[in-house]
Amino acid sequence: MEEKKYLKWYNKVGYGSGDIAGNVVYAFLTSFVMVYLTDTVGLASGIVGTLIAVSKLFDGFTDVFFGSLIDKTHSRLGKARPWMIYGYIGCAITLVACFAVPASMGKAAQYTWFFIAYTLLNGVFYTANNIAYSALTSLITKNSKERVQMGSYRFIFAFSTSLLIQTITVGFVDWCGGDAAAWRLVAIIYAIVGLVVNTISGLSVKELPEEELNDGEPKKTEEKYSLVQAFKLLIKNKYYIMICGTYILQQLYSAMIGAGLFYMTWVLKNKNLFGQFAWAVNIPLIIALIFTPTLVGKWKGMYKLNLRGYIIAVIGRALVVVAGYIGSIPLMLAFTALAALGQGPWQGDMNAVIASCSEYTYLTQGKRVDGTMYSCTSLGVKIGGGIGTAVVGWLLELSGYKGTMAVQPQSALDMMQFMYLWLPLIFDILILLILSRMNVEAANEKLKAERGMCAGE
């Protein structure tokens, strides 16, 4: 029987456009904050990395906290949309603050300014916005095909925005003057764009009534459960743990690709190559996302598609390593594109997999915790991206890198090569191993069949 349809094309596009706002924050922050702080402000990469890592200690708590709040929210806008729309106001303000460290302050005050702005951005405002935005996948439709389509639209916008940010930012900052004031101005422009688009996206969809979400059952008395109980519900779901692990590894991967600006500048001697590699990453991802809904239907599910895609991704990244040591930039670009093509399907259907993961908790525990379940998206982005950026800082510091030096030691150049060539390959291999065991669709079908047998007896 064909599933009921809930969304028009403009609802899917409107929802997807929300990741323009998300990546105005994420792509700009992960790709450029370390360069800004070390090369423009003059802060030590190792200390910045440590501050980012300490900031992550707050994130695990706030992810589950906001997810739980979303599940318990009842408003005219629904459960998730208020958090998505209003949370971004804080994102815009703190994003600008991260790129507006006052030059007149002493070093200790500058580190403190950045730490507070970065922690508020990631631990509070981005958390509220991103979990709510992701949770809408479960709250505005029950149609599995529409959920996959939403994911594809979302990440087409995400990677298009990431491509644009990575391509134009270096030149944009130079055009604005290339100094600290230029970074601040660019951050303000990006924040305003994100704020406008996020608001439009949040208003372009409508959440379903709870009776509809609960398969037509009447709304039950409000279930009270504590933060600890919510956490227990999550860790009882092995697929939630797998998705968290995959998400974190993905963001670690992205952080190393973002650190490619150091590799392009000092090893390949051309910082403008960063934009070319951004094209090699994002265009194949966008192409893969366009075909993901069709391929999911053809292969009757997401498991096989994701697994086969990441086999291609691992092969592609291994060939990037070979091309890097040969010294062929054209081959590096080609194999980077191949790896990205393989990663595309998982990016497109990831939110639908999380929706299936949430369904698994409902089938096994009898509790619907969609907002809490989608904490894995924010948790993965912040912990993976944050720790990834911190690791970049630590490794650069360990290698003897100094942003204000005209020539870097060979140890720093070797470290940049390791970070850009080897670490992404290692992360892709680990993701492949996790995806090989993440067949949540089959688990849900088995549970539904067993429930059906019991009902028929």
Over residues 76-109, the pLDDT tens digits come to 888 889 999 999 999 999 999 999 999 999 999 9
Question: Bigger pLDDT: 383 or 343?
Answer: 343
Joined tokens for residue 307: 């697994």
Residue 6: pLDDT over 50: yes
| Tokens (6 digits) for 325 | 């040591």
Mean pLDDT, residues 397-408 taken together: 86
pLDDT of residue 267: 93
State the residue for tokens 């006052």.
102
User: Per residue in 28-74, pLDDT tens?
Assistant: 998 899 899 988 999 998 999 899 888 877 766 777 788 778 888 88
For the entire predicted model, the pTM comes to 0.72
pLDDT band at 176 (very low <50, low <70, confident <90, very high): very high
DSSP-assigned letters across all residues of 268-312: SS-TTHHHHHHHHHHHHHHHHHHHHHHHHHHTTSSHHHHHHHHHH
From residue 266, alpha-carbon distances to 34, 332, 417 in Å are 15, 17, 10
Written as six digits, the tokens of 85 are 């729309």
**pLDDT for residue 343:** 95
Half-sphere exposure for 28 (CA within 13 Å, toward CB): 31
> How far from 289 is each of 115, 227, 283, 312, 436, CA to CA, in Å?
36, 35, 10, 15, 20
Query: What is the average per-residue pLDDT within 193-201?
Result: 96
User: Which stretches of 22-95 are assigned E, i.e. beta strand?
Assistant: none
Average pLDDT, the chain: 87
- pLDDT of amino acid 453: 44
Please return the burial class of 39, using the count of CB atoms within 10 Å of its CB with bins 0-12, 13-18 and 19+: middle
Higher pLDDT residue, 228 or 34?
A: 34
CA-CA distance, 34 to 86, in Å (whole number)? Answer: 28
Whole-number pLDDT of residue 338: 98
Options 1.20.1250.20, 3.20.20.70, 1.10.3720.10, 1.10.287.3510; CATH for 9-205+226-456 is 1.20.1250.20
- The rounded Cα 81 to chain-centroid distance in angstroms is 19
Task: List the chain domain ranges.
Answer: 9-205+226-456
